[in-house]
Amino acid sequence: MTDFAPAERVLRIKSSPSVAAAARVRELKAEGRRILDLTVGEPDFDTPAHIKDAASAAIMAGETKYTSVSGTPALQQAILGRLERHTGIRYSADEITIGGGAKQVIFLALMATLDAGDEVIIPAPYWVSYPDMVLANEGTPVIVPCPEDAGFKLTPQALRDAITERTTWLILNSPSNPTGAVYSPAELRALAEVLAQFPQVYVLTDEIYDEVYFGEGRISSLVEVAPELRERIFLVNGVSKAYAMTGWRLGYGAGPAALVGAVNKLQSQMSSCPSSISQAAAAAALSSDQQFVRDSVEVYRRRRDAAVAGLNTIDGLSCTPAEGAFYAYVNCSGAIGKTTPDGVQIGTDEDFTLYLLDAALVATIHGSAYGLGPYFRISFATSLDVLDEAIAAIDKAVRALS
């Protein structure tokens, strides 16, 4: 029997840090340790009853067969209506693709467009999967640091400086995972003016958290602010975050028909189509009353405010309130260089998060995993009681440093 040797594309990438952190938490819990888990990037609410009822009705009606690779007519219409309501742009059915989660849609878009050496601009902090998705598809991630004093957002000058003749994509994530940063219409317009000078650059806008927004009104999309770039924008969204449907695995993308056709061609060979039952549930989620979304955002707002207030009382830590999503990106530079009670020096933000896990039994994810340290990310998609207990434990652990 010969030793297994994975393909080069597998060797180029690493396992997701967030998945690895969740796995470590499960291991510790299995050992009987009570861990305050702030790593999980999914709503702690149950999927609303009317969405589950729609799925049950689909099962009872026999809607358990293959669908079109691009989804059922009902879900297509629900997505098209949602896109028009939120962006003011009217798309057609051949301009949308539906996949097994927004993650799959992003991966397939990169697979459909990247050749060896093509560059993808990724502002940091970034969602941990972006660089590895690019690498898996033979592209070259171009990481652009976006410091806290810039609001963790890409500036027009930084964008201009990063573009080369090999640039194929810019990835924008707003609201951001991990920072919760949101691009204003003026900021999007300024980026669009730079992009107008480089017609070879496409933009992938990951808007999966756009319903979890703490500002006034609704969030702005690049395609809404700069409709002249419509044929170069691939908008990605889904139902996971807004409707507490992470396990249903249903996402979608909207963009130029030629790009969507390429994505659908790949999907036809990869998974044929998304789950027919998940499609029925997603159609109900997007088309029905949105009170659940409004109510959950208010709960997230209260949790955000409590988490930020508590963290900012801890000497050596600081964070600014997220504008959207359900994360806090905490500056821990004040802890770097200090020593634990066991005599171990904290040299990095990863060292600090490991210390919090061991000393405080609080699980977080180090900021360097998102491309910018020294920070750590917490999720406030958990109860206020858990947040209060976790912040008190972090405070105690930080006070123990010397």
| Residue 302: inside a domain | yes
Q: Is residue 293 scored above 80 in pLDDT?
A: yes
Record the tokens describing residue 85, joined without a space: 């309501």
- pLDDT tens, residue by residue, 127-156: 999 999 999 999 999 999 999 999 999 999
pLDDT score of 15: 75
| Residue 3: inside a domain | no
| Residue 252: inside a domain | yes
pLDDT score of 223: 98
Considering the domain architecture, whether residues 226 and 115 belong to the same structural domain is answered as yes
Q: Is residue 23 scored above 80 in pLDDT?
A: no
| Residue 390: inside a domain | yes
Considering the domain architecture, whether residues 282 and 339 belong to the same structural domain is answered as no
pLDDT score of 187: 98
Question: Which pLDDT band, with edges at 50, 70 and 90, does 87 fall under?
Answer: very high
Considering the domain architecture, whether residues 234 and 137 belong to the same structural domain is answered as yes
Question: Which pLDDT band, with edges at 50, 70 and 90, does 14 fall under?
Answer: confident
Number of domains in the chain: 2
Domain termination residue (choose one: 238, 272, 287): 287
| Residue 170: inside a domain | yes
Lowest mean pLDDT among 22-26, 106-110, 167-171, 327-331: 22-26
Considering the domain architecture, whether residues 22 and 75 belong to the same structural domain is answered as no
Q: Which string of b and e fits 14-52 if b means at least 16 CB within 10 Å?
A: eebbbeebbeebeebeeeeeebbbbbbbebbeebbeebe
Give the range of the structural domain holding residue 215, as residue numbers without chain letter: 54-287
| Residue 13: inside a domain | yes
Considering the domain architecture, whether residues 71 and 134 belong to the same structural domain is answered as yes
Considering the domain architecture, whether residues 263 and 296 belong to the same structural domain is answered as no
Q: Is residue 167 scored above 60 in pLDDT?
A: yes
- Mean pLDDT of the residues in the chain: 96
Question: Which pLDDT band, with edges at 50, 70 and 90, does 117 fall under?
Answer: very high
The closest alpha carbon to 357, from 17, 43, 33, belongs to: 33
Considering the domain architecture, whether residues 316 and 333 belong to the same structural domain is answered as yes
Considering the domain architecture, whether residues 283 and 296 belong to the same structural domain is answered as no
Considering the domain architecture, whether residues 207 and 313 belong to the same structural domain is answered as no
- The arithmetic mean of pLDDT across residues 213-218, rounded, is 94
Question: Which pLDDT band, with edges at 50, 70 and 90, does 76 fall under?
Answer: very high
| CA gap 224, 226 in Å, rounded | 6
Q: Is residue 160 scored above 70 in pLDDT?
A: yes
pLDDT score of 276: 98
| Residue 1: inside a domain | no
Handedness of CA 42, 48, 50, 56 (dihedral sign): positive
- pLDDT tens, residue by residue, 331-347: 999 999 999 999 999 99
The closest alpha carbon to 206, from 249, 245, 235, 240, belongs to: 235
Q: Count the neighbouring beta carbons within 10 Å of the beta carbon of residue 309.
A: 11
71 Rama sector, left if φ>0, alpha if ψ -120 to 50, beta otherwise = left
pLDDT score of 43: 97
Three-state SS at 345: strand
- pLDDT tens, residue by residue, 43-58: 999 999 999 999 999 9
Considering the domain architecture, whether residues 282 and 297 belong to the same structural domain is answered as no
What CATH code is carried by the domain that includes residue 195? 3.40.640.10
Instruction: Provide the whole-model pTM.
Output: 0.95
Considering the domain architecture, whether residues 343 and 303 belong to the same structural domain is answered as yes
Domain termination residue (choose one: 242, 257, 287): 287
- The arithmetic mean of pLDDT across residues 101-124, rounded, is 98
Q: Is residue 1 scored above 70 in pLDDT?
A: no
Considering the domain architecture, whether residues 310 and 276 belong to the same structural domain is answered as no
Domain termination residue (choose one: 243, 272, 287): 287
What CATH code is carried by the domain that includes residue 296? 3.90.1150.10
| % of the chain at pLDDT higher than 70 | 99
**Which residue is listed with tokens 């990095």?**
348
The closest alpha carbon to 365, from 336, 401, 320, 329, belongs to: 329
